[in-house]
């Protein structure tokens, strides 16, 4: 397959550049806002519609901070420890999805306490509304030609501009479909049957962790980290296993708390 040569920049206005990657995130947040309002209308998310913008702002800030901090201190501290001036240089790349999850957890705690509602209710709503955005985020990665997969002779292989001369798995597409489409469908099917809050966000952690763990077998490992356990496991897979364990524990805790939907 041929990698589509899409200019990452949609258009420029002097020094200002509008990029596809940023647009994908805007689309994701617009969809999240729409779905959150639908959840309010269905009385699943028991807050006023006027609170949605506050939730999105809180989650956006916490997600960004978590994604950046985990990338800096877990994924690439050897570099940033000698380049402290670049700690905030996010335009050069460097955000961790697993860090974003930690940020969302913190943001959920803040919003839940401010509005006197169960944290489980907030996180279930965020998981349902935010999951579709994963598809658009991965499409942004694909357009940028980043986070590509390992070298392959599969018919699906593509030669990425920054990936050398050999075809590689388009792992961004694999992730976008599994995490952003399949997982979204699973969550919205499950929500019809849940009786207590917390089950949906637990399913999200288990589902994302499982899909991402699988895709890591096709995705190129971070150069600065490489592989662990005799070259069999990536850092992403280690973090995904922790996500799956957290999801299982969270499901048990949610059933114990028994916050009725």
For 9-52, the pLDDT digits (tens) are 888 887 777 888 889 989 999 999 999 999 999 999 999 999 99
Min mean pLDDT across 113-117, 239-243, 255-259 is at 255-259
Query: What is the per-residue pLDDT across 108-144, written as a single tens digit (0 to 9) for each?
Result: 999 999 999 999 999 999 999 999 999 999 999 999 8
Q: Are 198 and 259 in contact (CB under 8 A)?
A: yes
For all residues of the chain together, what is the average pLDDT?
Answer: 90
Tokens of 129: 């509304």
Question: H/E element holding 13?
Answer: strand 9-13
The partner residues of 11 in beta bridges, in order of sequence, read 18
Residue 44: both structure tokens together: 């699943």
Tell me how far apart the alpha carbons of residues 241 and 213 are, in angstroms, rounded to a whole number. 8
| Rounded CA separation 178/134 (Å) | 9
pTM of the full structure? 0.88
């Amino acid at each position: 397959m041929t990698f589509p040569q899409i200019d990452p920049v949609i258009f420029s206005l002097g020094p200002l550049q509008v990029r596809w990657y940023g647009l994908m995130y805007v689309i994701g947040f617009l969809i999240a806002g729409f779905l959150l309002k639908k959840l309010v209308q269905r009385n699943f998310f028991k807050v006023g519609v006027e609170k949605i913008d506050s939730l999105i702002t809180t989650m956006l800030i916490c997600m960004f901070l978590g994604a950046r901090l985990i990338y800096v201190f877990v994924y690439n501290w050897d570099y940033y420890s000698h380049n402290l001036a670049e700690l905030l240089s996010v335009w050069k790349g460097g955000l961790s999805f697993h860090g974003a999850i930690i940020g969302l957890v913190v943001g959920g705690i803040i919003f839940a306490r401010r509005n006197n509602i169960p944290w489980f209710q907030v996180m279930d709503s965020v998981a349902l509304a935010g999951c579709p955005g994963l598809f658009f985020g991965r499409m942004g990665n694909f357009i940028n030609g980043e986070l590509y997969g390992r070298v392959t002779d599969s018919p699906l292989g593509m030669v990425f501009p920054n990936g050398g001369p050999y075809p590689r798995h388009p792992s961004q597409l694999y992730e976008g479909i599994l995490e952003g489409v399949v997982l979204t469908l699973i969550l919205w099917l499950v929500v019809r049957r849940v009786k207590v809050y917390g089950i949906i966000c637990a399913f999200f952690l288990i589902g994302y962790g499982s899909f991402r763990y699988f895709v890591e077998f096709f995705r190129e490992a971070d150069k600065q980290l490489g592989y662990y356990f005799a070259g069999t496991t990536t850092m992403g897979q280690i973090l995904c296993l922790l996500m799956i364990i957290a999801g299982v524990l969270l499901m048990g805790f949610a059933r114990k708390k028994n916050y009725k939907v």
